[in-house]
Structure 1
Amino acid sequence: MQIKKLSLAITLATITSVGVVSAANASTTIRVAYGNQPGEPVDVAVKQWAEWVSEASEGELELIAFPASQLGSETEVMEQARFGSAIISITAYSNFLDSVSDLAVLDAPYLSEDFESKLRVFDSEWFADQLAEVESSGYHIVIPNTIYGVRHLLSREPVSSPDDLDGVRVRVQNSQMYVEAIRAMGATPTPMSLGDVYPALAQGMVDGVENPAAVLYGGKFYEVVKHLNLTAHMHTVAPFVTGKAFWDQLSEEHQQVLTDTGQQMAEYLGELVAEDSEQALERLRSEGVEIHEVDTAPFRERAAEQIPTAFPQWSDGLYDSVYDIING
């Protein structure tokens, strides 16, 4: 009798457990990680994306936003994704330098003069070949073409040519591409975290910082340096990436939902970034920042000469061929 009761209890527990698992599997929860702060364009766009995904999948897919690097650095989150976690993260194409080296060229300076031109590359055969290599490296690019912003230089003194940057220390993120980009422009790159920039500017450890106008305003760097030079050295387009192992576990229907709504999100984010950039320029001006138009031709020439030699791992003629795709 005791054995029968025990058997019945185990059976009921098993049924209950299966029911719980089935309920849990009714929806797939995906964490979306990014370093941007709440309220920034990326954050607003991701939360809108979550609504579109839920609606299109009839609640079977759920995106949860994790702003402000809550899940770790870009490198840490990318590793989690590669090992199968249900994570999608925005990253930089230059972060593929070690795995799909040619793809990093998309973050090179002065490849394009506007986003309309830059976006052409994503419809090219060259990019399709790169996507195949990304898959082989254990990743899947969910959204390749999200507009992140135009990067300019905020500095202690006005800048109109590469000669003006001789000996000028400019903060960059700790990335080989950004280091080489600033070096090609004529300055001395100084890698450090964005959180350390304000005191570094105030103490004279660096003389400038580059980033989209909205980030420059948000960091209050205008309190220390007062010259914004519209170098437009990068029209940054960033991918949203997940791991191939996780992507392959999703049904084709759910993959299509994420892809289609992801393109909606990319368009929406582009609109937010454009609006935010204009507002940031006006806010900087109202804080006493002098905004200088810059002839970018000399900077472009230096970039075309120096960037390819800084990356010997790239395919021969890569910078020029991608430049031609974008500007052809």
Structure 2
Amino acid sequence: MKTGKILVISLFVFTALLTFMALPISSTAADVIEIKANAFHPIGHRLYDDAFPLYSEQIQKRTNGKVKFTWFPGHTLIPQAKTYDGLKSGICDWAYIITAHNPNEFVLTNALNLPFAARNSAHAARILWEMSKDIPELKAEYKKVVPLFWYSTAPQHVHTKPGIEPKTLEDLAKLRIGGPGPIHVKFMSSLGAAGQQVAPGDLYTALQRGMVDGVIFPEAPLRSQGLTEITSYHLMLAIGVDVFAAVMNKNSWKKLPPDVQKVFLDMSESMGALCGATITNESAWVIEELKQRGDIFYYLPDDERERMIQKLQPFYDEWYKLMAERGMDGKAMLKKIREIAAWALKNPYQPDDWWGRAGRKE
């Protein structure tokens, strides 16, 4: 009987310890608030090396040591596709999510995923921040979390093997193009190519074995994925970006003292801009390196771009429908977003003192 009672008590204590260890936000005896931050980019990614550490260091400095980040890179805490649900459930305090993974929840945000919505990641970050100020419906999409800032991937381009140099819709119609996600396959299929979904880590092999003729992919990670070794021609479509939103768990946010919350909010615009600038600059460095070795970069003339926009009209029609279902006028909203985009192009965010090399143009 005593053994049974001891076993029950032991199990209760063990469960309580596990529950305590799993609590996302915590404080030490010195009242240091630990923020568990989920980052699905791996160690070695430009953002993980040159943006996120600077961000957490600045927050720690500006809160006089009250806050300390613990980073979990490369899916070590939550799988990429489950990040939003994991954050809401309290597995972590802070995370950045791909809004396209929840297309019915972030409809307005995903306007930036539409073809040709942003020139680059820095441009997208600027647009999204201004949208968050000028369009209240944007922040309303984040009622289940606390939004902090936004940025995006670099735009998607088509990269092909030597001897394959598409310039028009007719050229693309002859090719098999691999893409890492369903949206990329839909882009290529809409432009007449044979789109094939291929996991990012398998794109190199698919090209090498002749399974595809090219890939649709941002230029920034071409080098890290090894794709620079097997491609030499680049059709610069800038066809679309994937939006990231940096958000916090609502309960974790409520536990932060008001002065700490203010530091996070004060840092938000600059941090979104840093992420955008870092990705944009990495893209520029990759392009410069490839041009120096003799790669060909082809930029669409206006008339061919217009032809492609017409082919991609169904993406806009689908988005208009989703907006209408939520009581919003998609065409009027897109007009406003394009006005913000035009302003943002002429008024880029200027680097802040705390940024590192990767956020600055050199």
Aligned residues: 303
SS at match of 2:91: coil
Greater alpha carbon shift after TM alignment, 98-107 vs 37-46: 98-107
In the alignment, does 2:300 pair up with 1:291? Answer: no
Q: Which residue of 1 aligns with 2:203?
A: 197
Deviating beyond 6 angstroms after TM superposition, the runs of 4 or more aligned structure 1 residues are none
- Say which SS state the counterpart of residue 85 (structure 1) adopts: coil
Say whether residues 1:325 and 2:341 are aligned partners: no
Gap regions ≥5 residues in structure 1 = 1-20
> Secondary structure of the residue that 2:84 maps to in structure 1?
helix
**Structure 1 residues 119 and 315, CA, compared in 2 at 3 Å: closer, same or farther?**
same
Letter in 1 for 2:308: F
2:360 aligned partner: none
Aligned to 1:4: none
Deviation readout 1:32-87 (Å, 9 max, x if unpaired): 32333334331110010011010011111112233333223222222210112333
Alignment match of 1:211 (pick from 211, 214, 217):
217
Aligned match of 1:6? none
* 1:308 alignment partner in structure 2: 316
Greater shift in the superposed pair: 190-199 or 114-123: 114-123
- Cα deviation digits, residues 143-166 of structure 1 (max 9, x gap): 12x253232211232222222221
Q: Does 1:131 align with 2:136?
A: no
> Could you tell me how far apart the structure 2 residues matched to 1:321 and 1:118 are?
21
| Aligned position for 1:120 | 127
Deviates more, 1:314-323 or 1:222-231: 314-323
Structure-1-length-normalised TM-score: 0.81
Check conservation: 1:121, 1:322, Cα contact below 8 A: no
Across the aligned residues of Structure 1 and Structure 2, the Cα RMSD in angstroms comes to: 2.8
Deviations 1:228-272 (A, max 9, x none): 111111255422123323323323322221222232222333332
- The structure 1 residue matched to 2:171, chosen from 146, 155, 164, is 164
Q: Is the 8 A contact 1:112 1:323 kept in 2?
A: no
Match for 1:38 among 43, 64, 73?
A: 43
Deviation at 1:274, TM superposition (A): 3.0
Partner of 1:178: 184
User: What aligned pairs does 1:270-281 form with structure 2 within 5 A after superposition?
Assistant: 270-281=276-287
**Residue type of the alignment partner of 2:290:** L
Contact 1:170–1:189 (Cα < 8 Å) also in 2:
yes
Distance in 1, matches of 2:204 and 2:261, equals 42
- SS of 1:229's equivalent? strand
Query: Does the CA-based 8 Å contact 1:153-1:208 persist in structure 2?
Result: yes
The SS at the match of 2:231 is coil
Per the alignment, in what secondary structure is the counterpart of residue 134 of structure 1? coil
* 50-59 vs 287-296, which moves further: 287-296
Mapping of 1:63-82 within 5 angstroms?
63-82=69-88
Q: Identity, % of aligned pairs?
A: 17
User: 76, 95, 114: which is aligned to 1:89?
Assistant: 95
In the other structure, the counterpart of 1:149 is 154
